[in-house]
Amino acid sequence: MNANFFHIVKFNLKSKIIFTSTFFIITTTLILTYLSYGTFERNRNQAVLDQSESLLETHSKLISNWFKYHQNNLAIVRDSISQPDQQVDAIFKHHFKQLGFDSLYLIDANGDVKYSQGGASISGDTKWVKRALNTRSDLISLPYSDGHSNTFSMSLSTPLYINGQFSGVVAGVFSLERFMKEAFQIKVPTGSDAMVVNRDGFIIFHPKYKLVMRNLSSFNSTSTGEKLFVKAEQHSFRKSVTKKGRVFTLIPFIVPDMDWVLVFTVEDSLIYQPVNEYFMKQLFIAGGLFYLVFSG
């Protein structure tokens, strides 16, 4: 009986040691898995941010340079007609094909179109014309539509001074489609988007034309244009939640010399999918270990 008693005690003690050791191993595995998951997640976020910033920087410079190039072309026309008694019509015709605009205008200080080359007629009541005359500085308009289609245009304008007197503006108009083809060919993963947003939160450029000139607030987004600028200055990213509850990571980068940010929007499920797969694999391994130990 004593032998059986000691055998039982010895067996129970051995079982407790095995249980304690196994519990310690599994607990340690789960803790290390959780900690490694956090490290993996942070590294993944940083990798996505670093890779995105490099691409954002390249394309933001391309956008900025495209506008600088066309602004410089406009300045050539302005300088050519800034002297009195110039043959403006001949100058317009000479430069028009080389300038890269769909339409070219000379608008006097009263808003009357004196010369034009190219597309549709405009008037002094046109919103961007009024603003160009009022600001008397180089200006890039917001995208605007004719109201009858989903096509958008933009204008560049520069003030014209003759003999020191403000005499109106020289303006060029181009289609948004043209700009997108020439300077906004950004390849992003499926489920992601690239867009340009101003400080007021309006979407200036987006591959989906129906979203152009929509405000971020219309998506019930938790982000604003100003907040994106702050994150861009910090070289960081921001979370945004849509009306449908989808969570996106917004990675902004300031477009040089423009009051815009170029933004990559990536749905979180795309970012965290590899992380979640890694975490689930680790849990499966730990669970398998637990099952093998205690099933016997």
Domains of the chain: 82-178 (3.30.450.20), 187-273 (3.30.450.20)
CB-count burial class (<10 Å; 0-12, 13-18, 19+) for 234: exposed
Contact 213, 141 (CB under 8 A): no
- pLDDT, position 159: 95
| Rounded CA separation 150/201 (Å) | 20
15: its two tokens: 């079982």
What is the pLDDT, as a whole number, of residue 276? Answer: 44
Q: How far apart are CA 79 and CA 36, in angstroms?
A: 63
pTM across the whole model: 0.72
Residues of the chain below pLDDT 50: 5-11, 37, 40, 274-283, 286, 289-290, 293-294
The pLDDT value given to residue 11 = 44
CA 69, CA 75: separation in Å to the nearest integer? Answer: 10
Structure tokens at 200: 């007021």
Instruction: Round to whole Å and give the CA distance between 51 and 187.
Output: 13
User: In whole angstroms, how far apart are CA 193 and each of 140, 185, 208?
Assistant: 24, 12, 9
Q: Give me 231's structure tokens.
A: 């994150």
**Would you state the pLDDT for residue 4?**
53
